[in-house]
Each structure stands twice: as C-alpha cells, then as structure tokens.
Amino acid sequence: MNVPPPYGGRWPLNWPGLLLALGGYIVTFWLILGMIRQEPEASFQPTVLGLGHLVLTLLLIVCTLWMIAFAYGFRIRVTVLQAVTAGMLADLLFLRGVRCLYGVAGSGAVVELGLLLVASISLILLVTNNNTENLRRERQERQAQETDVLTGLHNRRGVARRYAALPPETALTVVMIDLNDLKGINDLGGHSLGDRHLRATAQALEAHLPAGGFLGRWGGDEFVAVLPGHAGIGPVFGPVQAQVPHPGGRQLPFAYGAAQVGAATPLDRALALADQQMYEDKAASTGREGSAASGEGVSDFPHFLLELNSLPAILEQGLSRAADLVGFEEWFYVEHETHRLFSRKGHDADLAQGVAASIAAPGSMLSQVLSQGESFWAADYESSPYAQAAWVQRGLKSIVMTPVRAHGEVCGAVAFFNHQTWHSVTPKARQLLGAVATHLGHQLERDAALGRLETSVEAVLTGLGTILEVRDLETAGHTERVVSLALRLGRAAGLGETELHDLRLGAYLHDMGKLAIPDRVLLKPGPLDAAEWRLMQTHSREGAVMAARLPALSPEVIRLVRSHHERWDGQGYPDRLAGEAVPYLARIFALCDVYDALTHARPYKPAWTPEAARAELAAQAGRQFDPVLTALFLEEVLGGAQAALRMPDQPPAASGPGLN
C-alpha cells in the first residue's frame, strides 16, 4: 500500500523501522566479529582491501537506513524486500572485510552462503513483485484510458481496441445510437439531469445486449454497440426505448441505425453506414436532426446562399461552405451537354476524365442522376449497385449527387464526395446539396436571360452604329471593324470582361452625337469653314449627353463617347485633356478609329496602304496617341514592325472630319 504524505507534502521519519534496522545491523556485525575473532589464526592486520569492504558496507548501510526512514513514501512491501536485500549484502561485505583485516581466509563460509541465499531470494521476490505491480498498474491505466468516466462503459479508444481484437471472419452488427435532444434535457434540468439520462440509457442498453456483444460511449450523446451475428436489432433496442423515457416526454429517447458487416471491415466504414441509417431513423421519428450539421451555420446557410449571384460565387463559396457544414471533403459540378467540370481542387484532369466516363456509362450513378433527374447517394460507394471500378480504384468512399435544373430540364449535376474516409449521407447533407443545386439552376436561368438581353442590346447598338455610318457617309463596315480592332487592343492591354464590354458599347456609339449635327454641315462635300468646324466638334459633347440618358450604359462608355477625339498632347476636343487625363478606353478607341479611317477610302481621300497607316500612327505616338498603346497596337494587333518611314507619295494624316 502507499501512505500519502500529510498536509504540506513531507513525510515523517519512520523511527520504528529505522531503529529496528540499526539494531539488526549492530547485532549482526557483533556476531560476525565475534565469530571471526574466535578463529585460532585470527590476527588484526589492516589492509586496503579490508578497509575498502568496510567503507562499502558503511555506504550501503546509510542507503538502507535512508530508504527505511522514509518508507512512508514508498510501497511498504517493496521497501521491506529492498531493505532485506540491501541488509544481506551489507552483512556479506562486512564479513569479507573483517576476514581480510584478521587474515582469516575460509572462516564463515556457511554464514556467507546463507547471506547470499537470503539476498538472492529477496532479490527474486523484489523483481517478481515489481513486475506484478507494473502489470497491474498497466491494466489499471489502460482501463482508465479506455473507460468512460460517466457511464463506466468503453470509451472511443476502448471500442476501437475491442473491435480490432475480433477475428476477421466474425459476422457483426455495428449499431450507432444517438440520444435525442440531449441539449434540451440539459436546458430543462441542468447537466445533472442530462448525466442521469446518459447513465440510465447506458445501463439499460448494456442490460439488453446479447452475449458476446459490447457497448461503448462514442461521443457526447452517441453510443456504439457491436453485436454478434446479423440478427435484427429491433428486439434488442425497442424495449430500451420504452424503459428509458425521454425526460421531456415529447419523443423517443434515442435513434439508432445498424450496419451488418464482418470484423474485417474497417470500423469507420461500418460506423458511416450505421450513422446514415441512424440519421434516417432520427429524421423519421423526430422530424429533426441532432447532428452537428444542425447548428447555426446550417440555419444561416439559406441567407448566405441568396447573397451569391454569380456562377463562380455559388460554386466556390456556396458549394464549399455546404460541403464543410456536412463534413464532406470535396465537391464537383458538371454540365450535362458540354461536360465542363468545376471542382474544389480547380483543374483536375483525372476527375474530369472519370466524370466524363461516368456520364457515358449507362449504369453509373452520375448517368442515373442526369437521366432520371433524381438524387442518388452511397455512404459506402464500393458496395453500391452503381459502383464503377475506376472510381473504387481512385479510393472513392462516399458520395451524394443531385441534378441541377434550368428551364425545366436537367442541365448538370452537383456532388459531395469523400476519398479519405467513409461519411454518412444524412438527410441534412442531401437537403443542403439540393438547395445549392436549386440556386445554381436559378442563376443559370438568370444568366441565360441576361445573355439574351445583352444580345438584343448589342443588336440594337450595332444597328444604331450602322445608321450613323449611313448618315455620315462612312465606309460600310467601319463600326464593326473598329469594334473588332478595339477589342483586340483591349485584350492585348489586359482589360477585364467588364472593361471590354464597355469598350465595345462605346465603339458602337462613339459618333451618336452626329445625330445633332445638321446635314448641311455633316454632309458638306467640301472643306468646313471655322464656324462649321466648331459646330462639328460639338458632336462628342452632344453624344455624351445622349448616352447619359441611356440607363444601360456605364460611366466609362459615356466618357469614351465624349473623349474619343482628345489627344495625348492636349490639342484635342472638347475638353483639351492631355496624357493620362484622357480616359483609357478613349485612348484605345482613338488609335483603332484613325487606323481604319486611314486605310479605307472616304469621299475626300483615297485609302492609305497599311504600311503608310502604321507609319503615321508611329509618327503620332506621343503627340496624338498614347505612345505605349501605339507600340502595343502596332506589335500585337497589326503584327507589323514599328512603322517604317512615311511613304513619300502619301500625305500626312489630315485633320478633317473623317479623322478627327
């Protein structure tokens, strides 16, 4: 036994044991000394060897007395055996030391043999006792590590060890048991009521286990039972539900689900199957779920999802958050017609190949989802009737798929899936995935409608540009060509889709202000006088005013319409802006507009050759045009060298109405 120290942490000296040991040493040494001195040849002759034995004897005596003096701090039985062993060794050393000092070689051989025998027996008992004690302590520690303190059942570690120790060929039924509304019970009567309910449920479950089965507490409100064989579990757990009523009185005390497996099946795989059945039972019996997936994150998810109004946002944020809420590792969305794939990992060639093969395979889960328009799932994919060898080899464990509908037709499918471990496909998981699929379908419908609207607006603006060409006597196709050049230069300059859209609309409408210019000025065949030129220059300002009245046009479009005749050197109109102050889209458009005007015939000039037009643009870099954009236009769009010298037979760019 162990004797705890008194308050303050220090043990008192063990005076009785200390005095008894000291007296034993004195008596023993006196008897040994007397025995040696009685030998006829005994004569005291000090030697180094003899004195060395006595010094060692003294050290061993001090250690033994110290151990006995504080015996309260050690196990008593072990201390006695240690003291006896040390005492016998001290007596043996003393005997040999005295024999050396008195020159008696063989005296005391029987006594020496007896001391060695007692010391050996004590040492054997000491080692045996220590080993036994260590084994007992190891069993106690393992039991403590594998036992749930509240219920006395196995904890998670204990269940896993018992399961792993079963013979692989054993047929088993693994049962997942989940208490209903334990939080509500704690809120009703405090944690003491919840603890009593846990203990009562554990005792009732354990009492109804068949022979050979075992039970453990898996988590806060979850129990796991492992039963022998593949018999039904209703007769086992049905009576327990009646025996342990729910303290709230509103529902059954727990829900349960079972999986019939062999002991060779990994425990987490068996639990995933049982867990899914348990959630089905819980949803059917209580109309709600008590899993971690029913927390605040799930209740807030619909509001979060409604704030996502683009396909990338719904996929990257909505699907990712939904997968995290229900504990799945990965997701994908695939379009039915194009087979275009989006996944959590971005581009995944292996996944894309596998998905395409699944769409083509009539018996696959994905082909069933797309053809039947229904959700399919499998907590254990390998054992499902839709399993494909390629996916099993990839390590697919669990999956749930839901169709995506747009305009009443199945246009794709979304899925949650796991490769690392098996995962139960709960009703909540299917519900969240279905919510994302519905919102995704609505977004696809909105995108299609917006695309049709944009196409209609584009057609109207194209028609308006054509009307302006006809009224202004522009060369046929000028607007389309300028739009094409501007978009090519915009992409080369790194514009985004929104900026390219604005550039395209501005290019269509850049001369809409000419609708306010009288025909006598706009269509005048000869040169304009100063007054007419001032009137012509008002078309950019008037065009901006007209564009501002169209709600579909952005401020960038309006700025392009107003500033497409501004110059880099500040000599343009209407605001005489210079350098970086000229809107970027207007600088892009001006290059394309002038190049097309130079290379096509007008009533007042012949068409220039492409080489001459490039030379003129290069000459105007830093004067009329942005020099950086000019170099980019010449290299990336036109694909020619930085313009050669201006052709001697070609005039420089004029500042007539067709150019500026």
Residue predicted with more confidence, 205 or 96: 205
**How distant is the alpha carbon of residue 144 from its chain centre?**
34
Two tokens, residue 282: 């819980």
Residue 577 maps to a domain: yes
State pLDDT tens for residues 207-217. 889 988 999 99
Two tokens, residue 625: 């045009």
**Same domain as 539, residue 419:** no
**Phi and psi, residue 41, nearest 5°:** -90, 5
Count of domains forming the chain = 4
**How distant is the alpha carbon of residue 283 from its chain centre?**
27
Do 413 and 370 touch, CB atoms closer than 8 A? yes
Two tokens, residue 535: 């009137």
CB neighbour list of residue 66: distance below 8 Å, 6 or more residues apart:
none
Which one, of 286, 282, 284, 222, lies nearest residue 255 by Cα? 282
**Same domain as 489, residue 606:** yes
Residue predicted with more confidence, 127 or 646: 127
**Same domain as 338, residue 298:** yes
**Same domain as 52, residue 23:** yes
Say yes or no to pLDDT of 13 above 70.
no
Residue 654 maps to a domain: no
Per-residue pLDDT at 563: 94
Say yes or no to pLDDT of 365 above 80.
yes
Largest CA distance in the chain: 158
Per-residue pLDDT at 512: 85
Per-residue pLDDT at 65: 73
**Same domain as 282, residue 194:** yes
Which CATH number do you get for residue 371?
3.30.450.40
Per-residue pLDDT at 104: 73
Residue predicted with more confidence, 284 or 551: 551
**Same domain as 165, residue 132:** no
Per-residue pLDDT at 119: 61
Which CATH number do you get for residue 211?
3.30.70.270
Which CATH number do you get for residue 593?
1.10.3210.10
Do 368 and 346 touch, CB atoms closer than 8 A? no
**Same domain as 193, residue 134:** no
**Same domain as 103, residue 180:** no
**Phi and psi, residue 475, nearest 5°:** -60, 140
**Domain closes at, from 100, 115, 144:** 144
**Domain closes at, from 98, 124, 144:** 144
**Same domain as 172, residue 120:** no
Residue 326 maps to a domain: yes
Among the ranges given (48-52, 302-306, 463-467), the one the predictor scored with the smallest mean pLDDT: 463-467
E strand or H helix at 335, and its extent?
strand 330-335
State pLDDT tens for residues 560-607. 999 999 999 999 999 999 999 999 999 999 999 999 989 987 766 788
**Same domain as 400, residue 544:** no
Residue 583 maps to a domain: yes
3-state secondary structure of 219: coil
CA-to-CA dists, residue 417 to 217, 405, 413, 414, 603, angstroms: 28, 21, 13, 10, 68
Query: Measured between alpha carbons, how far is 511 from 506 in angstroms, rounded to an integer?
Result: 9
Query: Measured between alpha carbons, how far is 278 from 263 in angstroms, rounded to an integer?
Result: 20
Query: Measured between alpha carbons, how far is 216 from 147 in angstroms, rounded to an integer?
Result: 8
Residue 231 maps to a domain: yes
Per-residue pLDDT at 644: 36
Residue 341 maps to a domain: yes
CB neighbour list of residue 478: distance below 8 Å, 6 or more residues apart:
469, 596, 597, 600
Residue range 421-444: average pLDDT? 88
Per-residue pLDDT at 248: 60
Two tokens, residue 560: 């392009």
Residue 428 maps to a domain: yes
- The sign of the torsion formed by the CA atoms of 457, 458, 462, 468 equals positive
**Same domain as 599, residue 478:** yes
Two tokens, residue 21: 């040991």
CB neighbour list of residue 625: distance below 8 Å, 6 or more residues apart:
567, 568, 587, 590, 591, 594, 617
**Domain closes at, from 144, 166, 187:** 144
Residue 558 maps to a domain: yes
Among the ranges given (271-275, 618-622, 627-631, 655-659), the one the predictor scored with the smallest mean pLDDT: 655-659
DSSP E strand boundaries for 221-295: 222-228, 254-262
Calculate the average pLDDT of the chain.
80
Could you tell me the residue range of the domain that residue 190 belongs to?
156-286
Which one, of 507, 560, 566, 516, lies nearest residue 542 by Cα? 516
**Same domain as 309, residue 251:** no
| Percent of the chain's residues with pLDDT above 90 | 28
Paired strand residues for 214: 226
Two tokens, residue 462: 């194209």
Question: pLDDT band at residue 289, thresholds of 50, 70 and 90?
Answer: very low
